[in-house]
Every structure is written in structure tokens, then in C-alpha cells.
Structure 1
Amino acid sequence: MPNYTFAMPKTPPTPWRRRDLPDPVTADALYAGAAPTISTAQTTTPTSGYIKYAPTGVALTGSDVTGPYQYAGASDFAIGASAPDTSYVLPRSKYPNSYSSGQGIWSVEFGTDAAIMQVRMKYISSATMFRLSIDGRKVTDLMQSSGGTTAGSGHMITIDLGSAAPRRIRLDFATFPFGGVYLPPTANMWQVPLRGGRLMILGDSVSDGAAGNTGAGAGTWVARAARLLGTTDAWEQGRGGTGYITAGSYAVFQDRIALDVIPYTPDRLIIWGGYNDNTGSQSAISAAAASLYSALKTALPACQMYVIGCWSPTGSPGASIPTTDTTLRTAAAAAGTPFISPITGGCYDANGTLVATHGRWITGTGKVGATTGSGNADTWISSDGVHPTDTGHIGLARRITAAITALMPA
């Protein structure tokens, strides 16, 4: 059993209750105001007179101040070791926990009364994307291109909101070294609180993103389900190819939690894996799941946990997938943890009792480009035959939210 440095236990959070959830029609809705004008230029020079609100850790010069940013979805921010990276922060709260290879998906929130703001970034590649939200409503449904042109160069994204008024601003980032926000000297910036507690997902590429969806992990079911569940601090801690007994190019779940989960004391934790393990030993999967759940419950006694079973990208999976699903359900029940099955749609409480059946998540055997028309797999599953499309992630967010809601007290 590995040694862990456990965080001090939190006071148990108020349990999620159905009565407290936001209206799903508005929680995931688009911003209804006038669309802002957004443009990007390859420069690190702001409009003359603008004041830089720098991320913590970036050296201040001249009129610069440290911005009162509320970071969501990540922690352990640092600047790079040498220029130009010393002007940009990235979080290291995800395996392998380095500046260039840590958590690539995260957000900042702040309040401002500025009509125009300029966001500084280092452009990495076409994977450098962002999404703007105003007053809790996203301006675009999916992540959008940052507009960068030259890899490795600093860029400025200018966002013209059309008028000066107090607003709550959120910027969701994907592979986006963040250099701060510049505001006119007549504008202000202030801190805003996050809401709904900290929700964390420990998972594989279905959560972490793949080529079939837009915006990597920022475009998966995670952020959308978080909005539907009423939390603004969602941590996408998936790593593709990983699982309970399968490390892929990274590490198994058990070996990641000491650095990626436990120190950040989530209020709610969803564990979703098993697909990358399903051809392995069921006894090994069972033992690894039991050890993982036990370690997490010991270290995070106040955390509400949910286990999602084995993913299936088809309505007719091979025997090892439902077998793995059953193995994980049994381990979750033994650990007193609610379980949700993608294979059957079954929702089981902490005692292992079936409380609702919503039906299998994926139906049919097709994928994008297929002509069978036999089920939602035709549009939900990408051409690789495994990973969800943008449409699929929208559907998964709804299914996962419905399943968790069924397990909540009224």
C-alpha cells in the first residue's frame, strides 16, 4: 500500500439534493446578450494605458497588479523556467505534474466593469482554445479557436463587450499558457466566488477528450455535467489509456491519487474507468478497485463519491465489458459507494441497491459515417469507434446528470 500525505478532513459538504439543482434549461444555456467582438493579434503589447492584471507568480513591472482571479479546475500554478514562459502560468495539478505536461484544462473567473479586455496567451498549436462565459452563460457552446498564428509566440485576444457594466467573466482554457488580462485604467477587476463545491472526475480518455470532440477535456461531458449539477469548479482529471490496472502512457488510478486528487479535497468525486482494463484479469480489477475506493474514503471522508462502470461504445459489447461493469459494481457496493452502469443504465445506492434503471447509454453498433441507423452510436461515437463525438458528450452529460440526480435525496 503506497504512503499518502492526507489533507486535513473537510467538514462534510451539504449533500447534493435534487431541490437545489439549477434549471437544466438555463444552466447549460448560451448567453442571450449582444455577442462580443473577439479578435486575436500576435503581440504582447496591450492598448496604450491598459493595466495588466497578472496571474500570481508572474513578475510585476510598471503599473502591473496581481489579478484577483478565482481559479477553477486546477491548482499548483507556476511560471515556466525561462523566457517567454516566465510570463505565463500553467497548473501542475495533474499527472505528470510538470509545467508543460500538467493540467491542460482549467478556468479563471473574475468580475469586471470593463467594456474591453485583452487576454494574453502563448499560442501552442490549434489545440490552444478557449471559451468565454458572461454572467454564468457561455457565449459559444463549444470551445473556440484562440486565433493564434505562430506557435511559441505571445498573442493578445481582445474582447469587446460593447459597453461598460459590471459582469462576471469566465474563461475556460485548453492548452493555454495564461499571461493575464489587461483592462482600461478606468475599469476595475474583483474576485467572485465559485459555486456548488468542488467536483472532480478521475477517469480515462472518455473524460479527458479525444480527436472526436472539440477542445480536448474542456469539450467532454465533464464541464457540461458540472453546469447541470450546479458547480463551477469542475476538475477534469482524466488521462487517456489509463484505468484501475492499466497505466497506458501515464499511471494507474491508484498511483495518481496522492498528487492529483487527495491534496485538493474535492467535495464530490466521480470515478469512471474500466474500459482500458476490460481485457485484463477481473480479480486484479476487483482488487485494484477495492484498494482505490478504500484509500480515497480514508483520505477524503467528507467527499461524496460515485463510481461509473465500464464504458461501451456499442450497444452490443463483448462479454468482457459487462463483466468488468459487474466487477466494479460489486467493488463499489462493498465500499459503500453509489454506482452507475453505462451498460444497463442501472443506478445503485451506497448499499448496492438498485434504485433506478434508465436504460443503456449507447444503442446500436454504428459510428459516425455509418449508415445502419440502428441507434445513437451512429452520431454519438466518432469514427475511431470508441470515443464520443461532441453530440455524444452532450448526451453523456445528460445521462450522467440524470443518474446522479436519481441517487440524490429529494
Structure 2
Amino acid sequence: MVGYAFAAPKTPATPWRRRDLPDPVLAEALYAGTTPTISTAQTTTPTSGYIKYAPAGVALAGSDVTGPFQPAGAGDFAIGATSPDTNYVLPRSKYPNTYASGQSVWSVEFGTDASIFQLRMKYIGSATMFRLSIDGRKASDLMQSSGGTTAGSGHLITIDLGSAAPRRIRLDFTTFPFGGIYLPPGASIWQVPLRGQRFMGLGDSLTDGSAGNTGAGGGTWFARTARHLGCADAWEQGRGGTGYITAGSYATFGDRIAVDVIPNAPDLLTIWGGYNDNTGSQSAISAAATSLYSTLKSALPACQMYVIGCWSPTGSPGASIPTTDTTLRTAAAAASIPFISPITGSCYDATGTLVATHGRWITGTGKVGATTGVGNADTWISSDGVHPTDTGHIGLARRITAAITALMPA
């Protein structure tokens, strides 16, 4: 398979500062222009005369050219090994790092003056979703259905913007083999640089998303926090059921970072885990955290890192959850990494000094389907009693952004 080239990350000369962050209201604003018209057809034959702009690595024919796409949120792109997958690219930058392993949400950006374009995809199933953004504003808050019909078949999504004008287009994908863009004759396309720096989240299903939220990860706390921080290049490296000492169906944090994190050189990294470990040995959690933080600090000296402590889906957690939170805080302080506690809302700087207390993130003991009328858990926690709802992810994004902002220089 052929790798897909992408721009190297920047190494920041100075830390991120509060003064450089976007207005959070504007960061989440929806596109206010003419509503695009979107339709999907099961075909790979574009409108007559349209020119194909293919992903790098895909074989060209006739008038095809390689498109100037700027990937975001993923890397190590490859084409499939056999037809029809040889017409499509997917990233391999998330464990288990295979063509079909899944990268959650990843994106491409480009500029065009076309009034209409066609997006080629291979339909996998109902999880094949996308989202359009125009000039930095989302056309929809969450990912939307691709409109595909037969699994395994190629499709074209026609997006009519209503008029010809220079625009910056962003397409977010999930479970979406990308086959390029078709433009009408006379329309042009160009590469655009990504805004902000590279933001990455190493974590479990809280970062990756779960059945408790909709939109295939496009509305998780991580995706929303990335926008609050002004980061177009947001790499969500969460895997459900994992942690510091817990591999689940994948691998522990320590076993994943050599491929998933370090070579992709994030400028800002959040490490959020511990919930899947909290009933295990605290000494083992401490040792794993200490090793993880040391390795990351040595390999990524320019990266700003934040450890988020143990999740609690209730305002009255059992003893092992706050104990795990304390274990991680101690290890983070020893590694000189700022720490954010979901249990107390306390924010500690790299020296372990308390700099802000925002209050516990989850209050009350309810959940969707079993509400108590007290606290935010009634609406923030899904019916499984563990994972956040869409509303919960919106709230968590605000809390995490506030905590990171409190730990940033002015």
C-alpha cells in the first residue's frame, strides 16, 4: 500500500496563550450562508466533463490529477490492497494501525471556487458518515449520514453550494474510505494550510466516543475542545476499554504511544484515562503512569501536555475512583505535567501547585432513564451509567477548555 503524504507538524517556539484562543461561541457556530444541497447516488461515474482530483497514491487515468488535499486528524494514509479499495484512502495512524482499523473522525481541507462538487466514497454501512464545513463553520453540528445504500459500493455525494465563490472546504469523515473530489470544468482547487496547532487526545472511550453519544465522534468533548482551542488538526487517539494498565480489546496507553502518539508529534496532548483501571492495583497504575509520562516527556519535549484524572460518572463515586485520581495527580506532578481533576475540578500546574478550582464535573447520581432531579448527571450521563451523552460532551468540552485555559499563560 502507498502512504499518503501530509504536512509536518509545527514545533511551537512559545506556549499556547489564552489571548490567542478563539471566542468559544464563534468556535461552535454553524454556517450562516446559503444552505448547501446534498444528495447521494450509488455510482462512481461523475457528471460529464467533471475532473477527478484523487487522493495521493490512487492511480490516475485520463484527465485525473492528484488533489491538493490537506489532511487533518490522522496520518499514514494508504490505499487499499485490492479493488475496489485501490480507489480509496484510509489512515493507519490509530491502533491497531491497519487499513480498516478506524481513525474515528479525520478530515481533509482544500480551497475551491466551484459552486458544486462531487465527493467519492465507498459505503461501508450506517457508520459511514461525514460533515461539511464552509469557511471554518460547520454546516451541521454533528456528523450526518452519507446516504449510501449498498455496502461495499462506490457512491458520489453531490454538494451544491448555490454559487461560485472562493471558499475553504473541510470534510470530516468517519468509517469513510475517501476517493477524491470531482469538479466541473473551469473550477479550481488549491491547498490551504491548517489553522492552529496539532492537538491530540490519548484516552479511552470518553475520548473516542461511545454508544452514549451520537454523531460518530464529531460531537465529543475532544472534537469540541479542539475547536475551542482553535485546532483544525485534531487527532483523537482514544480506544474504548483501555487505560494505563488495562488493554481491553486493544493495548494499554504505554503500548500504543510509540506508534499512535510520538511519531505524530502533537503540539498539545491530553492524556485521559484511569476509569478502566480504577479497580486494579494502585501501585501498578502509578508505575505505568510514571513510565508513560517519562517516555512522552523525553520524546516530545516541545509538547504541552495535560493529564486529566480519573473519570467519575456520578457525584458520589466509590473510593477507588478518587484514589486513582490522586495516584495520577501524584505521578503527573513528579513528571512536571499539569493535572486536571474531574472529581474536584481542581487544576494543578507543572509543579503540582493548585492554581484553580472549578468544582466537580458531574453532580448528582442519576442518568438518562433513571433521573433523580438533582445534579447534571440526569442529562450528562447516558443510560449505561458510565458514558456521556451529547449534552454531557458539550458540558465536558466547556469544563476541559476552561481547565486548560486556566493552566495556560495569559
Kindly indicate whether residue 58 of structure 2 is the aligned counterpart of residue 58 of structure 1: yes
What is the alpha-carbon distance in structure 1 between the residues aligned to residue 16 and residue 302 of structure 2? 13
Q: Which amino acid aligns with 1:182?
A: Y
- What is the TM-score normalised by the length of structure 2? 0.97
Equivalences, count: 403
Kindly indicate whether residue 260 of structure 2 is the aligned counterpart of residue 267 of structure 1: no
Tell me, yes or no, if the aligned pair for 1:198 and 1:233 is still in contact at 8 Å: yes
Q: Percent identity?
A: 86
What is the alpha-carbon distance in structure 2 between the residues aligned to residue 171 and residue 214 of structure 1? 18
Tell me, yes or no, if the aligned pair for 1:13 and 1:267 is still in contact at 8 Å: no
What is the alpha-carbon distance in structure 1 between the residues aligned to residue 97 and residue 193 of structure 2? 26
Tell me, yes or no, if the aligned pair for 2:9 and 2:266 is still in contact at 8 Å: no
Q: Which residue of 1 aligns with 2:43?
A: 43
Q: Which residue of 1 aligns with 2:16?
A: 16
Matched position secondary structure for 1:235: strand
Range moving further from structure 2, 239-248 or 211-220 = 211-220
Tell me, yes or no, if the aligned pair for 1:104 and 1:176 is still in contact at 8 Å: no
Deviations 1:280-301 (A, max 9, x none): 0000000000000000011111
Q: Which residue of 2 aligns with 1:381?
A: 381
After TM superposition, list the pairs within 5 Å mapping 1:394-405 onto structure 2. 394-405=394-405
What is the alpha-carbon distance in structure 2 between the residues aligned to residue 222 and residue 133 of structure 1? 17
Tell me, yes or no, if the aligned pair for 2:11 and 2:267 is still in contact at 8 Å: no
Q: Which residue of 2 aligns with 1:90?
A: 90
Q: Report the Cα offset of residue 129 of structure 1.
A: 0.7
Q: Report the Cα offset of residue 16 of structure 1.
A: 1.1
Q: Report the Cα offset of residue 48 of structure 1.
A: 0.6
What is the alpha-carbon distance in structure 2 between the residues aligned to residue 73 and residue 27 of structure 1? 17
Q: Which runs of 5+ in 2 are unaligned?
A: 1-7
Q: Which residue of 2 aligns with 1:4?
A: none
What is the alpha-carbon distance in structure 1 between the residues aligned to residue 13 and residue 121 of structure 2? 36
After TM superposition, list the pairs within 5 Å mapping 1:10-409 onto structure 2. 11-409=11-409
Q: Report the Cα offset of residue 102 of structure 1.
A: 4.0
Q: Report the Cα offset of residue 49 of structure 1.
A: 0.6
Matched position secondary structure for 2:93: coil
- What is the TM-score normalised by the length of structure 1? 0.97
Tell me, yes or no, if the aligned pair for 2:204 and 2:242 is still in contact at 8 Å: yes
Matched position secondary structure for 2:397: helix
What is the alpha-carbon distance in structure 2 between the residues aligned to residue 201 and residue 161 of structure 1? 33
Deviations 1:285-319 (A, max 9, x none): 00000000000011111111000000111111111
Matched position secondary structure for 1:388: coil
Q: Which amino acid aligns with 2:182?
A: Y
What is the alpha-carbon distance in structure 2 between the residues aligned to residue 27 and residue 9 of structure 1? 22
Q: Which amino acid aligns with 1:405?
A: T
Deviations 1:25-62 (A, max 9, x none): 11111011111001111111111111111001110011
What is the alpha-carbon distance in structure 2 between the residues aligned to residue 206 and residue 9 of structure 1? 25
What is the alpha-carbon distance in structure 1 between the residues aligned to residue 218 and residue 93 of structure 2? 16
What is the alpha-carbon distance in structure 1 between the residues aligned to residue 141 and residue 11 of structure 2? 35
Tell me, yes or no, if the aligned pair for 2:135 and 2:168 is still in contact at 8 Å: yes
Tell me, yes or no, if the aligned pair for 1:217 and 1:236 is still in contact at 8 Å: no
Q: Which amino acid aligns with 2:240?
A: G
What is the alpha-carbon distance in structure 1 between the residues aligned to residue 13 and residue 314 of structure 2? 37
What is the alpha-carbon distance in structure 1 between the residues aligned to residue 352 and residue 36 of structure 2? 49
Tell me, yes or no, if the aligned pair for 1:10 and 1:302 is still in contact at 8 Å: no
Matched position secondary structure for 1:103: coil
What is the alpha-carbon distance in structure 2 between the residues aligned to residue 120 and residue 394 of structure 1? 31
- CA 1:331–1:173: 2 relative to 1, 3 Å: same
What is the alpha-carbon distance in structure 2 between the residues aligned to residue 395 and residue 12 of structure 1? 29
What is the alpha-carbon distance in structure 2 between the residues aligned to residue 9 and residue 128 of structure 1? 28
Matched position secondary structure for 1:249: coil
Tell me, yes or no, if the aligned pair for 2:40 and 2:147 is still in contact at 8 Å: yes
Matched position secondary structure for 1:218: coil
Matched position secondary structure for 1:193: coil
Matched position secondary structure for 2:172: strand
What is the alpha-carbon distance in structure 2 between the residues aligned to residue 144 and residue 301 of structure 1? 38
Tell me, yes or no, if the aligned pair for 1:201 and 1:272 is still in contact at 8 Å: yes
Q: Report the Cα offset of residue 9 of structure 1.
A: 11
Q: Report the Cα offset of residue 12 of structure 1.
A: 4.0
What is the alpha-carbon distance in structure 2 between the residues aligned to residue 243 and residue 252 of structure 1? 5
Tell me, yes or no, if the aligned pair for 2:336 and 2:351 is still in contact at 8 Å: yes
Q: Report the Cα offset of residue 223 of structure 1.
A: 1.2
Tell me, yes or no, if the aligned pair for 1:208 and 1:216 is still in contact at 8 Å: no
Tell me, yes or no, if the aligned pair for 1:111 and 1:166 is still in contact at 8 Å: yes
Tell me, yes or no, if the aligned pair for 2:18 and 2:409 is still in contact at 8 Å: yes
What is the alpha-carbon distance in structure 2 between the residues aligned to residue 108 and residue 250 of structure 1? 27
Instruction: Let me know the Cα RMSD of the aligned residues.
Output: 1.2
Tell me, yes or no, if the aligned pair for 1:9 and 1:299 is still in contact at 8 Å: no
Q: Report the Cα offset of residue 10 of structure 1.
A: 7.0
Matched position secondary structure for 1:217: coil
Q: Which runs of 5+ in 1 are unaligned?
A: 1-7
Q: Report the Cα offset of residue 219 of structure 1.
A: 2.9
Matched position secondary structure for 1:99: coil
Tell me, yes or no, if the aligned pair for 2:347 and 2:406 is still in contact at 8 Å: yes
Tell me, yes or no, if the aligned pair for 2:219 and 2:394 is still in contact at 8 Å: no
Matched position secondary structure for 1:207: helix
Matched position secondary structure for 2:217: helix
Deviations 1:354-375 (A, max 9, x none): 1000011111111112231111
Deviations 1:373-403 (A, max 9, x none): 1111111111111111111111111110000
